[in-house]
Amino acid sequence: MTIRHTVLAALLLAASTCAVAQDGSGGLTPQLLSELKASFKGEASDIALMNALCNNPINKLALSHESLANIDTHFSNRVTSKGITDQKRSGRCWMFTGMNVMRADMIRQHGLGAFEFSQAYTFFWDQLEKSNLFLQNVINTAGLADDDQTVQWLFRNPISDGGQFTGISDIIGKYGLVPKEIMPETVSSNDTQAMATLIARRLREGGLDIRAAYADDGKRAAKAMTDIKVATLKDIYRILVLNIGQPPTEFTWTMYDASGKPLSTKVYTPESFFAEYVGDDLTGNYVMFMNDPTREYYRRYEIDMDRHAYDGYNWTYINLPMDDIKAMAIASIKDSTMMYMSCDVGKYLNIDRGTNDVRNYDYESLLGVEFGMDKRERIMSFDSGSTHAMTLVGVDLDSEGKPKKWLVENSWGAASGFEGHLIMTDQWLDEYLFRLVVNKKYIPQDILKLTGLDPIKLPAWDPMFKDEE
């Protein structure tokens, strides 16, 4: 039996197991159904609500009128930015966010007008590196059983266009950057689903072939497995070039100031362009922090196999209370330095006004049902987790220096939210911010020394650590 037939047989066995009848003592009995039906009174107010909800979106009816007047657009401290980016129908928020932080520094240092790095260039190498990461991990786990959790996780997640900050250090630190006009967006970089489906299919096929080679010859199959990996990567490279274009190895670029006056014209490689205009140690100069109340604070954690390149670094972070995270964020913004942040953006989001506020929607009053979980409980029950990365650019402080609200630059286009931004109340940030990446110069020494702790390794399938999209 081939490895593909073995995998199919395992799936069929799992399906047949699910079909076995369960003990009926916990089922919906007639008595319980009668009790449930009786709990809905069906009074005039209930019927009116049912009619309203059956004909209108829940958020439209739950929108709190009082919350509309509670948020203004003033910020006591704000980092200047020029131009809102748009990731379109792709999961590249992590990439846009990291590059937006870098472009803001470049614009400020050189007095530029609106400017963007090429997201298509970085995306090309990210997809190729992730493909290699998957195939090499399949080789490394070829001796494990088909139903091993690591093997199943790999084949469920061969590739994605999502990611997190390690993608910035892994990919840009290795391949450099180019201006957007040198390698512009394409249909497939703006709308990644069709291409991603085909790449994932080819990777799974290559992965099964690697496992079949190992099954036939064990450890002696090393060369055969590597040959399969290379052949698969050649196909992936072809798909990427045909859909995104060939990445430049050298280009000529003219830099213009804010008035449109040309400042210089030079020939660059992507690596020399990065060195001249960014020149930052993306691995050594930044620390990722997490607010995860399900785990011990002031400890360092590492996510196994969670990186963008095989020769890159696993995602490592320090878990801190929100007060510590916000203090570093304020220090960075006051020094005109943006930050990479991520959160559960869809919770209580009023996209029309561009606000995240826990008072935006009153679901309890509308439905007559209480929702009482705190952040820890939402994480434990899979109700909340980091879903989207953005650029933290502003904070509004009260007379005592306490934050009232925060401003983030989004990558959903200039027409989205508040002029391409989202305004987040401090209370909302406490509940739904998860990650913040801070330059070391804004980190207090007692927290910075935690980077020397041996990390606690967590599995790749930990529920808190899905890619940001």
Angle formed at CA 105 by CA 98 and CA 89, multiple of 5 degrees: 35
Tell me whether residue 93 is one of the annotated catalytic residues: yes
Q: Which domains does the chain have, with CATH numbers?
A: 77-86+285-465 (3.90.70.10), 93-277 (3.90.70.10)
Give the contacts of 291 (CB within 8 A, at least 6 positions apart).
Answer: 319, 320, 321, 322, 325, 375, 433, 434
Instruction: Report pTM.
Output: 0.91
At residue 11, the pLDDT reads: 43
At residue 188, the pLDDT reads: 97
At residue 12, the pLDDT reads: 43
Instruction: List the catalytic residue out of 319, 343, 388, 439.
Output: 388
In whole angstroms, what is the distance from residue 108 CA to residue 455 CA?
36
Nearest of 439, 411, 413 to residue 94 by alpha carbon: 411
In whole angstroms, what is the distance from residue 228 CA to residue 235 CA?
11
Nearest of 69, 82, 182, 203 to residue 135 by alpha carbon: 203
At residue 8, the pLDDT reads: 43
Residues 180, 156: contact at Cβ < 8 Å? no
Tell me whether residue 54 is one of the annotated catalytic residues: no
Which DSSP letter does residue 439 get?
E
Nearest of 53, 97, 57, 67 to residue 354 by alpha carbon: 67
**CA 439, chain centre distance (Å):** 19
In whole angstroms, what is the distance from residue 202 CA to residue 231 CA?
11
At residue 22, the pLDDT reads: 54
CB neighbour burial string for 393-431, b if at least 16 within 10 angstroms, e if fewer = bbbbbeeeeebbbbbbbbbbeeebbbebbbbbbbebbbb
Residue type for 288, please? M
The full DSSP string for 325-387 is HHHHHHHHHHTT--EEEEE-TTTTEETTTTEE-TTSB-HHHHHT------HHHHHHTTS----
In whole angstroms, how large is the CA radius of gyration of the chain?
Answer: 25
Instruction: List the catalytic residue out of 132, 410, 421, 439.
Output: 410
Residues 94, 165: contact at Cβ < 8 Å? yes
Nearest of 421, 405, 409 to residue 326 by alpha carbon: 405
Record the tokens describing residue 110, joined without a space: 């050189």
The full DSSP string for 156-176 is H-S--S-B-THHIIIIIHHH-
In whole angstroms, what is the distance from residue 253 CA to residue 183 CA?
12
Residues 305, 137: contact at Cβ < 8 Å? yes
The full DSSP string for 221-260 is GHHHHHHHHHHHHHHHHHHHHHHH-PPPSSEEEEEEBTTS
Residues 182, 251: contact at Cβ < 8 Å? yes
Residue type for 170, please? D
Q: What is the mean pLDDT of each run of 10 residues along the chain (469 residues)?
A: 50 48 77 95 94 96 86 93 93 95 92 94 98 98 96 96 92 96 97 97 98 94 97 98 98 94 96 96 94 97 93 94 98 97 97 95 95 96 95 97 97 96 98 97 98 95 79
Residues 451, 439: contact at Cβ < 8 Å? no
Tell me whether residue 388 is one of the annotated catalytic residues: yes
Instruction: List the catalytic residue out of 93, 132, 137, 343.
Output: 93
At residue 17, the pLDDT reads: 47
Neighbours of 120 (CB within 10 A): 22
* Dihedral of alpha carbons 237, 242, 247, 249, sign: positive
Give the contacts of 233 (CB within 8 A, at least 6 positions apart).
Answer: 128, 131, 132, 135
Give the CA distances from residue 77 to residues 190, 264, 404, in Å, rounded to whole numbers and listed in that order: 33, 33, 12
In whole angstroms, what is the distance from residue 228 CA to residue 218 CA?
15
